[in-house]
Amino acid sequence: MLRRTPLRSFATCARRAKPVPSVHPTGPSGDAVVQPPAARRREMKPFSEFLTDGFGRQHNYLRISITERCNLRCVYCMPEEGVPLSPPAHLLTTPEITYLSALFVSQGVTKIRLTGGEPTVRKDIVPLMRGLGALRSQGLKELALTTNGLALGRKLDAMVEAGLTGINLSLDTLDPFQFQIMTRRKGFERVVETMDRILEMKKLGARLTLKVNCVVMRGINEAEVVRFVELGREKDVEVRFIEYMPFGGNRWAEKKMVSYREMVELIRAKYPDLHRVRGHLNDTSKTYQVPGFVGKVGFITSMTENFCGTCNRLRITSDGNLKVCLHGNAEVSLRDVLREANEGRPIDEAAFEAMRAIEREQQHSGILGDTPLGWGAREARLLGVIGQAVRRKKEKHAGIGQLEKMENRPMILIDRATRTPWSHIPSHLLSPSLHTHQLRFASTWIRNSRRQQEPVDPGSRRSFKLRKMFLESVKHFITELDDLLRFVRLALFAVLSKKQVSEMQERDVSPDELAEAVERALTPPALTPPEHVLEERTLDDLRTIYSPEWGQWVPGQGCEFGVQGKGKVDGRREFSTSSRRQNEGDDEAGKGSQLTHLTPTGTAHMVHVGGKPWTARSAIASCEVHFTSAATIELVRSAALKKGDVLAVARIAGIQAAKLCPSLIPLCHPILIDGVDVDVEVNEGMGRYGGVRVRGTVRCTGPTGVEMEALCAVTGAALAVVDMVKGVDRGVRIEGVGVVEKRGGRSGVWRADEGTE
């Protein structure tokens, strides 16, 4: 009989086994007898009772989160505002991780995966891997890593030497620009370089497996599924598509999830021979392959077809909690039990060695019993806590309908058993894509409704059901609107000039920060109504700003919470921070001498235009640039200035200035411009030395005029002329800026020399 290590004598059976002889049995010739595999399996001890749950599942796979930090901000993983990081003293130290890993390996764990956050941002990850790699002599077979690949390249060689055997690379798009949208950071090229480096090491003989994990979300990256499959045409890589799962802060909605069967149909539309292949025992993915391809395709179907029946995974969070189910919120602290001997303080290398020395002395004196790692009562207590948690593991996690309502950690933190309801989070911590008046709706309305509504009669099921349906529809509406706004903000990049975008990119500004800069430029200071006031128009504004179809999610007239809705509204550009409503028949210029941008208290606000009809509108403005040097006009006419063609540059500057009008004029509405024409002409008869006459025409279809856009166009063009000629004509000046014609709206046609027709 082969010699067995005593490491698992404490944990693998209910009673102590007889001592194992210290020498190998020998045959007649004195050689060690090598028994056949079947005989060895019969003599093997049963799997650890501490890692076996009530349904007979044996957990030999441990995932350890070694950090909460990450160098990306993936939309499905981390809330946009980030996550509150735990104090360093709350996180597991390297000696603590190594000890807990050794304890689990002693009980039968054969695979450990390091996760995060992003594990490669941990400074001591390589020494940690060396410590874990040493556990191969005690039964560990696989040491894997899940990473985004950004910081892996420079550490990869050292990790492989330390014992790394598998890498899961998280990559959700093959489009560099989409990568920035989904991760809110740059770095696509580095991830691709890391993937190529891993494949190169495999060709050179490194025993590494490479899998690419892709979370598929409807409307975002499902069109790239086939492109990901084609990665495996010539590369030895398994691409695994993951169904979008709900975690704290990722704004999950079932309609965003692309099911496994949908993805298979997408692939078979191009590769009809895609077929199922045999996977590994306890594998979480369903494995497929396209004939002729080197790589494989996997589908992780946590939402539609769970694999709970063969689950063999346990998780330790970065703050030391044991989590027996990814989608469960039950956790137990191993860190607190481990640190009891160190008065609750983190155990560093020095403290660990001091504690080990004491334990060894007690063991030699016979005080300690025989335990797997020789830590006596503390080790026994840890195993007891682990065993109780594992035995309480449920047969399967909740379904889709329940998961989205459960409170769970954000994916990046997978010791917060609960989290603050989103409706009570301060507005400055909410997504920047919600404007001030929307935040007031989100944070105040629900609170006021709870305070003001009368108790519902438990016997009135109809009333209760209607109330519940209304709350759910509003919640769904807010979620969908926020997601829409994220992409609207990204589309607004166009309002910045190419130079501004280039400058921001040189400073390594993320797409999200760039979008926020655009939003701040376009959004005027908003007046927030008192917290005890809920304006009737607020919900209507939210519903009609972007699309009339949002009306279907919100009740109309007669809503029991007192919010009046008007159904679908034609005006798509409703946007208001006013504390009062404008009458739909109000003239654009106001009534009489009243300034429409002022409230009765004298404070400024943006005029409400949501109720006005959409009509074709246009405005023409003009100005003059007067030269004070005789040589200037000829240099401009012949395009002989060092800076180039003055007239061409001025025309482009005028068009760009018209588009940037809402950024320059605080209370001006952002509008969709149909067209901008800027004419810049040399005029010798203008003043003593001649000059340039600028005329700008702006057109749009909407509820408000474009006079300010026309004025911005001619002013921008004139300023460009001044900038181009100021080196040869320091006295150049701009005169006569004004609107000369306006068409559209209730005021009809207006000309500067004739008045209103």
Residue positions annotated with a catalytic role: 723
Listed in sequence order, the residues at least 6 apart from 614 whose beta carbon sits closer than 8 Å to its beta carbon are: 570, 571, 701, 702, 703
Q: Give, as one character, the DSSP assignment of residue 384.
A: H
Say how far apart CA 69 and CA 522 lie, in whole Å.
Answer: 32
Token code pair at residue 753: 């020399």
| Alpha helices by DSSP H, 497-599 | 498-506, 511-522, 537-544
Per DSSP, which regions of 339-437 are E strands?
none
Say how far apart CA 469 and CA 561 lie, in whole Å.
Answer: 13
Cα angle for residues 151, 157, 161 (degrees, 5° grid) = 130
Secondary-structure breakdown of the chain: helix, strand, coil percentages, each rounded to the nearest 5:
40, 15, 45
Say how far apart CA 137 and CA 3 lie, in whole Å.
Answer: 14
Q: Is 458 helix (H, G, I), strand (E, B) or coil?
A: coil
Token code pair at residue 720: 């460009």
Task: Please state, as a whole number, how many other Cβ atoms lie within 10 Å of the Cβ of residue 160.
Answer: 18
CA distances from 191 to 146, 175, 508, 612 (A): 13, 12, 17, 50
Q: Give, as one character, the DSSP assignment of residue 568.
A: S
Listed in sequence order, the residues at least 6 apart from 585 whose beta carbon sits closer than 8 Å to its beta carbon are: 746
Say how far apart CA 723 and CA 291 lie, in whole Å.
Answer: 64
Q: Which of 490, 495, 718, 532 is nearest to 623 (CA)?
A: 718
Say how far apart CA 598 and CA 613 lie, in whole Å.
Answer: 22
- Which amino acid is it at 106? S
- Which amino acid is it at 200? E
Q: In residues, how long is the chain? A: 757
Task: Please state, as a whole number, how many other Cβ atoms lie within 10 Å of the Cβ of residue 122.
Answer: 19
Cis ω on the peptide bond leading into residue 745 (within 30° of 0)?
Answer: no
